[in-house]
Amino acid sequence: MTFNLHARAERAMRDVGFAARMPQDLTAHIPPPHNEQAAIQDLRQLLWSSIDNSDSRDLDQVEYAELLPGGGIRLLVGIADVDSRVGKGSPIDQFAAAQTTTVYTGIETFSMLPEALSTDATSLNENEDRLTVVTEIVLCPRGSVQSARAYRAWTRNHARLSYEDVGPWLDGKGPKPEGVAEVSGLAEQLRLQDRAAERLIQERARAGALDFETIEATPVYSDGAVKDLRVQSKNRARYLIENFMIAANTSLSGILSKSGRSSIQRLVRRPERWSRMVTIARAVGDNLPDEPDSHALAEFLSRRRLADPERYADLSLSIVKLLGPGEYALVPGGKPAPEHFGLAVTGYTHSTAPNRRYVDLVTQRLFKALAGGVPCPYTDEELEAIAERCNERANAARKVERLMRKVAAAVLLAPRVGQIFDAVVTGASPKGIYVRTFDPPAEGRVLRHEAGLDVGDHLKARLIHTDPEHGFIDFANEGEVSFVRGGGVRQ
């Protein structure tokens, strides 16, 4: 009998307190835009485009770049003005505030907002006029930010593009995408955006920002069955959008901070398990200082990417696990913004995905109130409660998404019990030792001979049991293990 993955995804949502289905009364009537008198620029004539996953339907951002005299680049990032259709305190807003995030299980997407909004009315769909909040950033030739401002504008997405098509073309390894060829001037526009992204990347590297290449497997379905686990690797287009979003979030954080108004900031604290990172570095013949240092870690990761590109994703995953997840925190007006260790910046908010994350919608409202010269729409107590709720729900969403990856993997691997796989340890705690196999990229627990294993160790893992209902994939350590220890690597 075929395992019902959709029903399992719904149970997973309910088990951690999410609504698995949106109330029908929320989708019955989508309110019109607010009747606002604020000044809104008309930038529809600019050659805006979007780049996202090929299957994405909730498009949050569009981009445009302009070369300035002297070699500078003016970068514009337009973000969907979701607040214009979702009033604070409205029934849709209350549902979104409870969910706080769209949950992507690979099997089914559980939207934070009604799809009539997130994939239509507030999605920056191709050839549609949309209200946006634009962050305008002027980059110096070296990549540093000379100035940043934000404002509201009408925009029009002239081309909906995908990472899968644009990335290989930008790298010179693929043909010009059809969507690029069809729009006059778009190829030159994207090349300029690519130059802007390269400047941002170089500036971030000088600041000590960390660059990870982690493996995230998405189930591949056909005729209702899991056929494979597909890894989405970074390419040049993903780097472009990633760096534009970081620049927009950092710039808007600075705008809010300078205004003296309270905000919700995103931070990654100094890693508590730094000593383990030092051990991992020594095992590959490299060194890290005894105290946490983002510059040193970034340089170590860069060296390893060059020295061993095939295993860099595994190393990245180990470091990400040791860093721990980011979190949201209230920063009261007038207080200094906190450090984001991974990005090597002081002051970072989330603002670029209001169709998918509630904190981004809140940040949008904070900026619009500032721009309109009206009081903050939230008290500090409300912002703190929202931050705590978003943290808790983000953890719950990760549990659902991780579980459903395991469920899909357990379904796929069920016929392969008894086989041996190459694997890397991705988690080590009193709760157990967890590993990820290389091919296919599936996560499970080591139940036999697990003593002494730690994050980053490589091993031969025999598959001994699968349980699709609970997402259990159990392994035995077969003894052919490369233990990462302070003295080096031993077999």
Q: How high is the pLDDT of residue 484?
A: 44
| Closest among 173, 53, 119, 103 to 398, alpha carbons compared | 103
Quickly tell me which residue has 């990654």 as its tokens.
Answer: 268
Please enumerate in sequence order all residues whose Cβ is within 8 A of that of 272, keeping only pairs 6 or more positions apart, or say none: 324
Q: How high is the pLDDT of residue 485?
A: 39
Question: Could you report the average pLDDT of every consecutive run of 10 residues in the chain (491 residues)?
Answer: 85 96 81 73 97 92 96 97 94 96 91 94 96 97 92 97 95 94 97 96 84 73 77 86 95 94 90 88 90 89 86 81 87 85 84 97 97 95 98 96 90 92 86 89 90 85 93 86 39 32
pTM: 0.87
* Domains, the chain, with CATH or none: 5-268+333-407 (no CATH), 274-323 (no CATH), 416-490 (2.40.50.140)
Q: How high is the pLDDT of residue 490?
A: 31
- Residue 365 is given by DSSP the state H
Calpha distance 151→155 (Å, rounded): 12
Handedness of CA 384, 390, 396, 399 (dihedral sign): negative
Q: Which helix (H) or strand (E) holds 440?
A: none
Instruction: List the structure tokens of 194.
Output: 């690519």
